[in-house]
A and B are shown apart, each in its own frame.
Chain A
């Protein structure tokens, strides 16, 4: 499965109040056991990988043959995909929230579809129907990545909008005399900053990590390069992988911190949120 995310932070929503429940003992033993065992399962491979590559491998990654080309390609694709995704999904989500609220169910259903059609299957279909001129450039991948990013971008924007009560804000803005452009620029976008940040991070993480479609489309993006390079030097490949992981982690951490600080108490909205709770 392509990139999946955890939480997107939402501005302006306050978490529901929770009372401490004294009946529940504070952290009984079994909880620590679980956390430690699971924690070990996750950390040990990282340690093993570090041991395997050695610290000296990291700086060397950048100098390897094919690295810059592959990395550059991945970055370019990430940029294009992100811009396209936001340009496509943000207005659509806003529009649906404002004008076609009944379509929201449908939108959720549609945006689940890219998850239903596995990337490996999708690329088969795409290569079948794509026009020749597109197939000969790697940018076809960018176009398809937008489809992959759709579920996450939609949910990030949807969560952000739901916490906003956009309808009221827009009406207030209009009653004070603002036209559509001002409303968009001064009212909507500033309040959606966190959602946009989430969507951006998710999309970038997705593209930088996407292997399946790129390799089957025969273009050497960064992940594809890592696998290919493994034939040449295992430690370097592992180092590159660790770097990729580390960068993603920094990204997500940054968004957690920034989102948490700018919003009033920011609420964590999970991607696969179960409840339609009113977050006011």
Chain B
């Protein structure tokens, strides 16, 4: 298998492969790409450690798919480079980059069975028929689809198709695995199952993986690190915890999880007269009026006839209930409350909202 690939290791990489496809180091350097007047990518810098799963998260149009396609070789960057294990692959055509890609949907070749699809990449690499069969069967087994080997894509469900697509991408033992919103077209339950499967497979094989998605739950639950993108720029790249607890920008703060945005003028109402000096400010010294960003769990709620807010609605989430409260000035905040306590509240009830700790961030209005 290795002989067929002719993979070269650069001198400066440490502890490389021993026979499985442990991942490569992938570096995206200052990638920029414009389509007409829109800047799809604006100087993206990203490095993936071997075997790491990095998720690129962001709303549509933020450039994450463009970045992925540049890495795969289906688009070229206007400037910047992609380096794999130290080698610049920007000039190498997609067919020779040795990366496995899983597309959003309908990428299985309709005229081939599942087994034939999986072994396609091996056929391109001129592996003998017996070897191809064996390897394809192994991979189908890894994704749990051995009985479906002879079936054609139109006979498989969406989830099964994507699993075959995953097996197909992994069959060639790629140095890098690229996933372009592979779960978006599937229903919720299947999505959850597949999430686990992708993650465990990726970890088992140690393949460096770049995963693009607009679903934050997916990104946060699967990735080692998540890069939040907005307007072609990487706003922050960090572990899921860090993103949630210590967002670098207001965009990240509001994109990841639920965030309340309260005008600073209302702070007194919440009983927080002075703000702690170490609260993150973004930008460094916000000019003029600021908003305070605080999570639902950072607020407290108590029924009170002389309160500062009125209950608007309640959303039952299980152990917690998210209560919508309208503060004076037409500002509505979400407060997380234990369901046992929140059960007594009804829309229209007066309540008192207070801050339970330091806010996450101060931002420009």
Contacts and interface: CB of A to CB of B under 8 A. Distances in A.
B74 interface: yes
B11 to A, nearest CB: 32
Interface string B226-238: 0000000000000
A109 interface: no
B272 interface: no
Contacts of B76: 22
Contacts, number: 6
Contacts of A23: 74, 94
B75 interface: yes
A23 B75 CA distance: 8
Interface in B65-109: 74-76, 94
Interface string A150-194: 000000000000000000000000000000000000000000000
Contacts of A21: 74
Contacts of B75: 22
Interface string A7-31: 0000000000000011100000000
B70 to A, nearest CB: 10
B64 to A, nearest CB: 15
A23 B70 CA distance: 12
A23 B96 CA distance: 13
Interface residues of B, number: 4
A16 to B, nearest CB: 10
A23 B73 CA distance: 9
A277 B76 CA distance: 32
B101 to A, nearest CB: 13
B153 to A, nearest CB: 14
A67 to B, nearest CB: 54
Contacts of B74: 21-23
Interface in A75-131: none
Interface in B34-83: 74-76
A21 B75 CA distance: 8
A125 B134 CA distance: 62
A66 B74 CA distance: 64
A22 B70 CA distance: 11
Interface in A17-66: 21-23
A273 B288 CA distance: 62
A21 B74 CA distance: 8
A8 B74 CA distance: 34
Contacts of A22: 74-76
A77 to B, nearest CB: 45
A21 B76 CA distance: 11
Contacts of B94: 23
A22 B35 CA distance: 12
Nearest to A22: B75
Nearest to A21: B74
Interface in B214-266: none
A23 B74 CA distance: 6
A126 B128 CA distance: 63
B40 to A, nearest CB: 12
B214 to A, nearest CB: 16
A21 B94 CA distance: 12
A278 to B, nearest CB: 12
A213 to B, nearest CB: 42
A23 B94 CA distance: 9
A22 B76 CA distance: 8
A25 to B, nearest CB: 13
Nearest to B73: A23
Nearest to B65: A19
Nearest to B93: A23
A22 B72 CA distance: 12
Nearest to B95: A23
A134 B141 CA distance: 71
A21 B69 CA distance: 11
B63 to A, nearest CB: 15
Closest 6 CB pairs of A and B: A22-B75, A23-B74, A22-B74, A23-B94, A22-B76, A21-B74
Interface of B: 74-76, 94
6 contacts: A21-B74, A22-B74, A22-B75, A22-B76, A23-B74, A23-B94
